């Protein structure tokens, strides 16, 4: 019995020693594997924590976005129309477009009926007759009138129809002029130009101004 007990004790000691030795060998093997991986560059670097809260990225603002600019049109011109007494009777807004110069006019206190409406060549509105405005804007030396075979003047415009209340509101495009300074047929040349309302209807063919009568309202178009 004593020999059997001694044998069991020695066997247990051998197992304990073997287990400790095996753990050390396993740890050593793992350390060697890690060192080899580091030398070969295959170990993945640790990821730093991200500060981003979303995977979406906002697209850069387009230059065509409504917020990219203030939308101001630098070619637009608003002018006052005054009668022979110097009283303001309306306004006209001129704006450069691809088809020419858009003209929007709104006026009151005018005689009812049809009235000739033209662009004149000199930017001066000296009351009461407005003769300082010169003739129709006509750099191409054409004949007057939209109904003339050799017309029209660059400054010829459709008649204005004034209501019984003395008011008119109209829009048209002057196709043969521009607001671009330095270009041919520019309304903004050295001496500017004017818009003129006449007392009578323009017949569209009579020379030199359509038999439209005297000038009853005028507005200066200039670069300033």
Helix (H) or strand (E) segment spanning residue 150: none
Beta bridge partners of 118: 156, 196
Tokens of 71: 């939308």
Cα 119 from Cα 144, distance rounded (Å): 12
Over residues 15-65, the pLDDT tens digits come to 555 555 544 455 555 555 555 544 544 444 444 444 443 333 333 333 332
Cα 12 from Cα 17, distance rounded (Å): 9
Q: What is the sign, positive or negative, of the torsion defined by CA atoms of 104, 110, 112, 113?
A: negative
Can you list the domains of the chain with their CATH numbers? 73-221 (2.60.40.200)
pTM equals: 0.66
Closest by CA position to 131, among listed 120, 147, 116: 120
Over residues 164-174, the pLDDT tens digits come to 999 999 999 99
Look at strands 100-107 and 160-162 and give their pairing: unpaired
SS3 assignment, position 11 = helix
- Largest separation between any pair of C-alpha atoms in the chain: 149
Over residues 116-156, the pLDDT tens digits come to 999 999 999 999 999 999 999 999 898 898 888 787 999 99
């Amino acid at each position: 019995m004593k020999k059997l007990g001694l044998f069991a004790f020695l066997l247990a000691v051998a197992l304990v020693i073997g287990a400790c030795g095996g753990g050390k060998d396993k740890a050593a093997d793992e350390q060697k594997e890690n060192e080899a991986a580091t030398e070969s560059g295959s170990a993945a670097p640790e990821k730093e924590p991200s500060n981003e809260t979303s995977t979406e990225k906002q697209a850069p603002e387009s230059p065509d976005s409504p917020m990219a600019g203030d939308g101001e049109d630098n070619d637009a011109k608003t002018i006052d129309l005054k009668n022979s007494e110097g009283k303001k009777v309306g306004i006209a807004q001129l704006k450069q477009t691809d088809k020419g110069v858009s003209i929007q006019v709104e006026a009151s206190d005018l005689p009812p009926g049809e009235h000739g409406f033209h662009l004149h060549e000199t930017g001066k509105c000296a009351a009461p007759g407005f003769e300082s405005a010169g003739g129709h804007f006509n750099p191409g030396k054409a004949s007057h009138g939209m109904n003339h075979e050799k017309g029209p003047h660059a400054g010829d415009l459709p008649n204005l129809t004034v209501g019984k209340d003395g008011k008119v509101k109209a829009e048209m495009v002057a196709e043969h002029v521009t607001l671009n300074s330095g270009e041919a047929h520019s309304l903004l040349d050295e001496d500017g130009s004017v818009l003129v309302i006449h007392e009578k209807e323009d017949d569209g063919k009579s020379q030199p101004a359509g038999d439209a009568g005297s000038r009853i309202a005028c507005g200066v178009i200039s670069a300033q």
